[in-house]
Amino acid sequence: MPETGRLEDMRTNDLLLATGLTKSYGPTHALAGVDFTVGRGEAVAVMGPSGCGKTTLLHCLAGVIAPDLGQITLFAPHGPVSVSGASSEDRAAIRLNHFGFVFQQGLLLPELTAVENVALPLLVGRTSRGAALGRAAELMARLGLTGLEERRPGQLSGGQQQRVAIARAQVGDPAVVFADEPTGALDSQTSSEVMHALLASTIGEGRGLVLVTHDRGVADRCHRVLSMLDGRWAGAQPTRQLPPTGPARATDPATPTMTAASTDSPRLGATR
């Protein structure tokens, strides 16, 4: 049975590689030995029943929590970085500099405007307010949100809020974006539009995307779909289909352009 990610399998375009991840909460083995990899311009979906360990995996990969055992390496532009070996302070810096996050509910701050929400990761860093808001507005425009910059989250639809959250996840130019049930609270039409926006702004820009979903239709738009059961990969894992190396070009037929309004997103070559 092919593994989902092993050092000896490492591809030149790997962004994040994890081997042998375990994480227990008392008697619960949330992760019981999981390998994983995601490459540049690659979208990987993780499915499985509630409680099987999907969020724990995402949180370990993203450096939110530390695994009990196992290695996680990020191949950053300046060289490999050990996420698993980093202190919690260093993990916070890795998250800020290299990762983006999208959650089921946008988790936007209600008292900030949409553009301030998008700019927030830059505002907590060293970027000037003007530059941060400029970059945020540019990302909003690319996600079809022009004209909504000054709205508060409460004045936006669910799909618009989620696109604001997607813009926020890109603002720091992350290598990998993690999305936990990003369409879980949306109707199917809105879900399709949000998925299009998410794919365009991640794999369309050469980022990796790790997406947890219960929705088979959403998962099928990713390059690979992995299924978890009781903290392990369930069943035979798919053969890898390598995504194009380097940032995908706008002309690449498999890569949606970064316009959320369009819903004619091509299905990516899913391999299962």
Among 2, 6, 7, 28, binds ligand ADP (CB under 6 A): 28
Tally of CB atoms within 10 A around 66: 17
Retrieve residue 169's tokens.
């996840």
Question: Of 61 and 156, which CB lies nearer to ligand ADP in the complex structure?
Answer: 61
Selected range binding Mg ion among 23-31, 48-56, 115-123, 145-153, rule: CB under 5 A: 48-56
Spatial neighbors of 40 by CB under 8 A, at least 6 apart, are 13, 14, 15, 206, 207, 208, 243, 245, 246, 247
Among 8, 12, 25, 110, binds ligand ADP (CB under 6 A): 25
Alpha carbon of residue 231 to chain centroid: 20
The listed partner (Mg ion, ligand ADP, none) that binds 25, CB under 5 to 8 Å by sort, is ligand ADP
Question: Of 107 and 124, which CB lies nearer to Mg ion in the complex structure?
Answer: 107
CB of 122 to ligand ADP, least distance (A): 29
192 is a contact residue toward ligand ADP (CB under 6 A): no
- The radius of gyration of the chain's CA atoms, rounded to the nearest angstrom, is 18
CB of 33 to Mg ion, least distance (A): 19
Q: Residue 74 pairs with which residues in a beta bridge?
A: 16, 81
The listed partner (Mg ion, ligand ADP, none) that binds 30, CB under 5 to 8 Å by sort, is ligand ADP
CA angle (145 as vertex; 139, 150 as ends), nearest 5: 95
Which residues of the chain form contacts with Mg ion (CB under 5 A)? 54-55
